[in-house]
């Protein structure tokens, strides 16, 4: 099995077209088809169902596709690792983080990293923890900041706890204070509030909804489906209240009232994760060190 054959196979699987796949990998279509047939002979199985105007993966092709993508991603990571200079003058780091961490934790750390290593390109992907774990597993990220516990076991990942952060309730100063204006808010007080809620897949959504249900009520949403900036904007406009990380609330600036949750309150555990079977590239290891030492 040749590396080039896997490249051709993934191109055909993603385009579902031999000619377009050949154009993507800059090779003549007959040569690509010949290499795919050679790969099938070596594996002893057809990878594609070939019909006029319709290319589909066989069961064998479906099984090979995620493995081939991972091999190609690992090879790409290895290429960048070898190309980095010892002094970290160039390279790239692919970092995943939840949107709230991009707003609260990362700006200062990434600024310090960029000041120290200006030649390293920072590629940041915002998503929920579940999606970030999937991207780590397939080799599309070097590091990810995720929220623990994970929704499902991830034995292929190494996680290191970074911090534990309290959640707070934010509201518009123009609206009545949640909890009747008391210094702290009980989860049960949110039964009388309309919540501005994050989109599905957001860790904060699941945490807040589960806390409300544990307190014996189903939360009422004023508006739902936003990312962090949108949620804060809706709260400022007086549409409702939201439960957000304290770090985000402290950076949000004017236009928000911040009320702590009464003990035991709500908190979340942030961890730094990477694949256990592949060492992060040099630049990613340096960013990891800076995050752990912050």
- Per residue in 99-136, pLDDT (tens digit) is 888 877 888 899 999 999 998 899 999 988 888 998 99
pLDDT in tens, 24-42: 999 999 999 999 999 999 9
Residues above pLDDT 70, as percent of the chain: 95
| CATH architecture of structural domain 80-162+270-293 | 3-Layer(aba) Sandwich (3.40)
What is the pLDDT averaged over residues 126-148? 90
For the chain, the domains span: 3-65, 80-162+270-293, 164-268
CATH of domain 164-268: 3.40.190.290
Structure tokens at 262: 């009464």
pLDDT in tens, 39-77: 999 999 999 998 776 889 999 999 999 999 999 988 887
| pLDDT surpasses 80 at 155 | no
| pLDDT surpasses 70 at 83 | no
Strands (E), 219-261: 220-226, 242-245, 257-260
pLDDT in tens, 233-286: 999 999 999 999 998 888 877 789 999 999 988 998 999 999 998 888 888 999
CB neighbours of residue 133 within 10 Å = 22
What pLDDT, on a 0 to 100 scale, did the predictor assign at position 212? 95
C-alpha dist (Å) from residue 164 to 114, 202, 260:
25, 18, 15
pLDDT in tens, 174-229: 999 998 889 999 999 999 999 999 988 788 898 999 999 999 999 999 999 888 88
What pLDDT, on a 0 to 100 scale, did the predictor assign at position 51? 78
Say if strands 194-198 and 220-226 run parallel, antiparallel, or are unpaired.
Answer: parallel
CATH of domain 3-65: 1.10.10.10
pLDDT tier at 81 (50, 70, 90 boundaries)? low
Sign of CA dihedral 62, 6, 23, 51: negative
Strands (E), 14-65: 48-51, 54-57
pLDDT in tens, 232-247: 999 999 999 999 999 8
What pLDDT, on a 0 to 100 scale, did the predictor assign at position 151? 65
**Domain 164-268 in the same topology as domain 80-162+270-293:** yes
């Amino acid at each position: 099995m040749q590396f080039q054959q896997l490249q051709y196979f993934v191109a055909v699987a993603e385009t579902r077209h031999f000619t377009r796949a050949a154009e993507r990998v800059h090779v003549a279509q007959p040569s690509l088809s010949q290499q795919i047939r050679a790969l099938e002979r070596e594996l002893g199985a057809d990878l594609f169902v070939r019909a006029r105007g319709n290319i589909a993966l066989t069961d064998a092709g479906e099984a090979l596709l995620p493995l081939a993508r991972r091999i190609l991603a690992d090879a790409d990571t290895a290429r960048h690792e070898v190309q980095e200079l010892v002094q970290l003058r160039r390279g790239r780091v692919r970092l995943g983080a939840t949107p709230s961490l991009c707003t609260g934790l990362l700006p200062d750390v990434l600024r310090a990293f960029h000041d120290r290593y200006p030649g390293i390109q920072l590629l940041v992907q915002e998503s929920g923890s579940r999606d970030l774990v999937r991207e780590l597993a397939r080799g599309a990220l070097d590091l990810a900041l995720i929220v623990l516990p994970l929704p499902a076991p991830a034995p292929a990942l190494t996680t290191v706890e970074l911090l534990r952060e309290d959640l707070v309730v934010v509201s518009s100063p123009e609206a009545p204070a949640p909890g009747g204006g008391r210094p702290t808010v009980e989860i049960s007080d949110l039964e009388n509030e309309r919540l501005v809620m994050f989109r599905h897949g957001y860790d904060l959504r699941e945490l807040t909804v589960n806390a409300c249900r544990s307190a014996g009520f189903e939360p009422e949403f004023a508006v739902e489906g936003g990312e962090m900036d949108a949620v804060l904007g809706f709260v400022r406009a007086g549409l409702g209240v939201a439960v957000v990380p304290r770090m985000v609330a402290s950076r949000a600036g004017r236009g928000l009232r911040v009320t702590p949750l009464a003990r035991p309150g709500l908190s979340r555990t942030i961890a730094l994760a990477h694949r256990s079977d592949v060492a992060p590239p040099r630049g990613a290891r340096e960013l990891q060190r800076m995050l752990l030492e912050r």
